Structure 1
Amino acid sequence: MKLTNTILSTGALVALGIGMAITTTTVHADSVTSTAHESIYHLTTKDGWSNDLQSIVWNSKGKYYDLYFLHSKTADDPNEAGNQDWLHTTTKDFIHFTPQNSAIKADGPEAPYTWKSAWTGTVLVNDGRIQGVPKGAQVAYFSGLEKHDGGSQNVWIAWSSDNGRTFSHVLNNSAPVIDHSWNFTSQNKVDERDPAVVYWHGKMLMYTAEGSELGVYQSKDGIKWTKADPNGASKVGIGTYLQGISNQDSTPVECPVLRTMKMPSGKTKQVLFFGAKAPHVGQTTGTYYIVGHLDDNGLFAPETNARRLDQGSDYYGANFSGSADLNNASSTIKSIGWVGNWSYTSSGVHNDESANSEFTKHLGSYSVARNLELGNDMSIKSTPIVGQGKEVKHYNSVSKDHPINGANASSNKPFTNGRDTNGLVHNLLDVPNLSVNKAYNLHFYNTKGNYKGRIYIDIWQGGDYVRFNYDPSNGWYNVKSRSGELDKGRNGQIASSYYYDGLLGNGNGYSANSGVMNQKTINLKVLTDKNSVEFFFPNGQSYTVARFNTSQKQDFKIFTEDPTNGNKVNITQTNLNQN
């Protein structure tokens, strides 16, 4: 959960040229909702605003997954005290979802130290050691705002007697089990949120977000918590969890999750997932991971550098399936992330009309679920989970029949604004007025050797766009996005500019290295929905970006350079939905 809604720090983005060449159920809401931002095949809040995903927990009784996510009544002021609860849904396939219900109330029971907003946390199944809870019952540890002291951040615990649907049994007399003010908890005495709770070596561990640090605590009974390292500060600092990335202006860290993953070699490692940002190297808020192990006290010790799980600007507040017992390793776990960014999703969308605006009544979508696998090189590969679509169309070896220069495209949208090209650009595909709920499988190949020349993909939705520019010779790519809706919000042009390139000051969008280079063939998957675009590379890298237009139609365009005169592309286009 994010308390502050500040624009992230500026920094220098590495300027790189990029691009290339080719051929070729929704959950409906009640009276306080709107269809303006209702996705077609992605999980979307039933009403109001939503962000962080809380947990993905296998329900052995129901034979489905329980999903929980943070929800507010409206997007007008998602941080307003008393306005935030948890919503719950279930799924068996991560494509179809059951109707949503409130799982943790926004206001706790009347007690001296209860909460007035429920924030991010963890759900796990009691293995028998949590005091006052039946074995096998679901337990929620969650952060929130203290009701009676002006809104400090603390951690509470509650359990469910209805198989994970609601958490109405509050333990510890409704008092926090972790309080920000204790002498061994938050060192800045402000941040104490997003508890991640696991079982490890006969005890329980809790990781909490405490500004630029992760606090680490241990417990025998789940109620009384002490420092995991009794002789030290018991903190995981920024130099550890962001190892390999300069940590200038990178706070706060948020939404930690610990899992044990098994590599194909059979070796197991602990993986720490978390939310952070590194604007000085061109990275806005996103979900990161780092691979390593826990020391004798349960503090994370890295064995790799930190990496982005998704390289895009809009994959945050993510959560993960897998066992909460770190003694149990998983070869594959599932992840879902919030498609949004605190620097524009809340502050930029047209919310100055409060509840009278359709944009305040239904704003909160999530990525498609991804299967995550940890390779022997200790990097994670992400594969999207999508259903079987309808109306499949194939475009085989599309010919270069519309040669153009780098400044003009043969379409109603100009190919301009600093589009970096190395030579003649060809229009390979330009299909207008498609439905927004699409999966595109793009197979690029070269009849003479490695695929050369940049690939440009332009996706227009009304007057807004997402532009993708990829260079297969070095793996680098660039994404520029434009949303007119963000101009209308409280922060106006500030939010719009941050959406475009993070306010890094160079007007060049976001750049990242896919790691896919010098290949004879390249397969790209592009998933589009009303609120998002998700790019997937064949090595498991991904890039997710939010969309804010309300149009149900889009234009999909592919442009290319072809220095070899041997580039081709085959395209499969599929409609996706939750039906």
Structure 2
Amino acid sequence: MKKILNSLASLTFASSLTTNVLACNANNDSFTVLKEIDMVDGDKKLETEKFVNSFHVDTPTRIENGKTYNGMINDVQGALFDGEFWNVYFLNNSESTFDDEGKQLGGEGTDWYRMKTKDFIHWEQGGVAVKKWHKWGDAASGSIFFDKDKDFSNKGGYVSLVTAYGGERGQNIMAFQSDDGINFSPLNNEEPILKNGEPDGSYPNFRDPLIIKRNGLFTMYLAQGEEFGIWSSSNPLSGYKRVGTYKPLYGMLECPALYKMNVNGDVNNQKWMMIYSGNGNNTWFKPKKSDKLSTGMYYTVGTLDENNIFKEEQEAKRIDFGSDFYAAKFWNQQNASSDIEEGQNSLLGMGWMSNWDYATKTPSIGKWGNLSIAREIKLNYVNNFYDVSSTFVDLKNQVEAIQGTDSDFENNKLNSRSYQLDLDIENLNSNKDILEFKLGNSFFENKIRLNFKKNEITSSRTSQYKTLIKNSGYLQSRSYKANIKNKTDIQIKLIVDTTTIEAQMPDGSTISMVKFSDEKENEKLVLQSSSEIKVNYKYYNFKL
């Protein structure tokens, strides 16, 4: 495994700025800044490195027959462990390009692409796993099923459940098989295992299949607009009949996943957890429940009846509270081979770091989109509520660290654009304090504000790029009720790469956001506080 020399500094700040600086946010809330700390002064990137991340998965560059392909990536499809590598699958349209208004300029259709990793920080290209342009269309979102009982074919192995986009035929569900997860071939004589049943040209929502095997049935959950249609058959390749629906909050539903979880790690206390993509701005269904956080990942808990129909016991809650963690997939760490009835202590997952409000309008060098870092989630029961805790995979163990001193910080500014910053903040007045992180320069700014009096965390941002400067989805301020009251000492983790910031807050909640610099100025990270806090930090440089 490649080792990188990095800097770690454990420092305490005693000095403060006591000038009466007034800080504001998008909600016009202001506070007097009593202490300001310049934390990181990130160097400008070369033009050839513009928008290129160091340890996040970017759109892969492929060269075939002398031609270079880049394009766009989006939805994560799942992952498999082959004994040495984790193989992560996602959608990739290698031929797509977009104009300044986000309009696609040819290059239709997506493949399933595979990247592999041992540690979720160093990545290798694996190539196309499920090819587009079979006779029913391309290969869009779905999921992976481990066919250990050889129900789909006498080969067993892995099955990719795929949404085929077929022009006038609309969306239909296909199955592909692979022995090793490298190359998948169509099953069922290249015919859909479930057709949408509507006339050609009607194009209904009929996508993102998830299949579970339980009680002698193969049960498929499909995203069908504002609800998940539930289909069942005794044969995984045919004969599906609709047996029910599940309609959670935050419609525009996509990307379902279903697992039995050990609550608080207890095998004697288990709940089924449904995970899905939704739109928190949606006011069509239960408008008073809108969380006004835009699209993102949600979870809820409940039971499965004898027909494998999910019965919700608790309304959905956000997994990540930022703007850019969507179309994620989570998988069990025992690999896909474990039984559906086996309770999981935790799941590992990754998401697409973008948002359809601006996904095709972000600045680029011919590549659009990247994936998040991996995170582990657990289901806990706290204060009469089932809550998901998220922890980013431990990146810092992949690097060698050098400790610094106060003078090291003063004389040698931390200047990476790809780093992890672990903060211990002390001497908070938890009843009135405000902390605000600002990352950016005069061209753009991403903010995260912690308001301890309101028990609220807010993320917001600005951009001078012409396609984003007035984009309401990109500029939307996102606030949520947190659990940060009555805390005088807190820990915060910031993980930053060229176009990303992923943050873990003191209550364990996470915020994922993208950002785009014009590279004409350094990118600075500044912490402002309404009181005389004391900060200790550890800094890890992940410039690969």
Separation in 2 of the partners of 1:529 and 1:91?
18
Q: Tell me if the contact between 1:477 and 1:513 (Cα under 8 Å) persists in the aligned partners.
A: yes
Q: Deviations over 1:178-232 (max 9, x none)?
A: 212269xx9x961011111222233322111111110112233320142362xxx
Give the match for residue 8 of structure 1: none
Give the match for residue 142 of structure 2: 121
Q: Tell me if the contact between 1:371 and 1:382 (Cα under 8 Å) persists in the aligned partners.
A: yes
State the shift of 1:475 in Å.
Answer: 2.5
State the shift of 1:369 in Å.
Answer: 0.5
1:330 corresponds to 2:296: no
Q: Tell me if the contact between 2:97 and 2:105 (Cα under 8 Å) persists in the aligned partners.
A: no
State the shift of 1:75 in Å.
Answer: 4.0
- Which amino acid in 2 is paired with 1:165? I
1:529 corresponds to 2:497: yes
Give the match for residue 469 of structure 1: 449
Q: Tell me if the contact between 1:218 and 1:228 (Cα under 8 Å) persists in the aligned partners.
A: yes
Instruction: Please give the residue correspondences for 1:228-243 in structure 2 after superposition, counting only pairs within 5 Å.
Output: 229=243, 234-237=244-247, 241-242=248-249
Give the match for residue 251 of structure 2: 251
1:157 corresponds to 2:171: no
Give the match for residue 86 of structure 1: 112
Give the match for residue 68 of structure 1: 89
State the shift of 1:151 in Å.
Answer: 5.1
Give the match for residue 273 of structure 1: 275
Give the match for residue 378 of structure 2: 373
- Which amino acid in 2 is paired with 1:573? Y
Separation in 1 of the partners of 2:411 and 2:448?
15
Q: Secondary structure at the match of 2:381?
A: coil
- Which amino acid in 2 is paired with 1:569? V
Give the match for residue 500 of structure 1: 475
- Which amino acid in 2 is paired with 1:134? K
Separation in 2 of the partners of 1:431 and 1:510?
35
Structure 2, gaps ≥5 residues long = 1-25, 38-46, 61-69, 282-289
Cα distance change of structure 1 residues 80 and 259 upon mapping to structure 2, 3 Å threshold:
farther
Aligned length: 475
1:384 corresponds to 2:392: yes
Separation in 1 of the partners of 2:48 and 2:111?
19
Q: Tell me if the contact between 1:18 and 1:471 (Cα under 8 Å) persists in the aligned partners.
A: no
Separation in 2 of the partners of 1:396 and 1:382?
32
Give the match for residue 305 of structure 2: 295
Match among 558, 566, 578 for residue 527 of structure 2: 558
Cα distance change of structure 1 residues 78 and 103 upon mapping to structure 2, 3 Å threshold:
farther
Cα distance change of structure 1 residues 141 and 133 upon mapping to structure 2, 3 Å threshold:
farther
- Which amino acid in 1 is paired with 2:370? S
Q: Secondary structure at the match of 1:374?
A: strand
Q: Tell me if the contact between 2:50 and 2:365 (Cα under 8 Å) persists in the aligned partners.
A: no
Q: Tell me if the contact between 2:431 and 2:485 (Cα under 8 Å) persists in the aligned partners.
A: no
Separation in 2 of the partners of 1:319 and 1:182?
29
RMSD of Structure 2 on Structure 1 (CA) = 3.2
Q: Secondary structure at the match of 1:499?
A: helix
Match among 99, 104, 128 for residue 125 of structure 2: 99
Give the match for residue 313 of structure 1: 323
Cα distance change of structure 1 residues 254 and 80 upon mapping to structure 2, 3 Å threshold:
farther
Separation in 1 of the partners of 2:188 and 2:518?
46
Cα distance change of structure 1 residues 181 and 372 upon mapping to structure 2, 3 Å threshold:
same
TM-score normalised over the length of structure 2: 0.80
1:56 corresponds to 2:79: yes
> Bigger shift: 322-331 or 310-319?
322-331
Structure 1, gaps ≥5 residues long = 1-13, 25-32, 243-249, 351-358, 398-427, 502-508
State the shift of 1:463 in Å.
Answer: 1.7
- Which amino acid in 2 is paired with 1:522? I
Q: Secondary structure at the match of 1:98?
A: strand
| Identical residues among aligned pairs (%) | 22
Separation in 2 of the partners of 1:318 and 1:430?
42
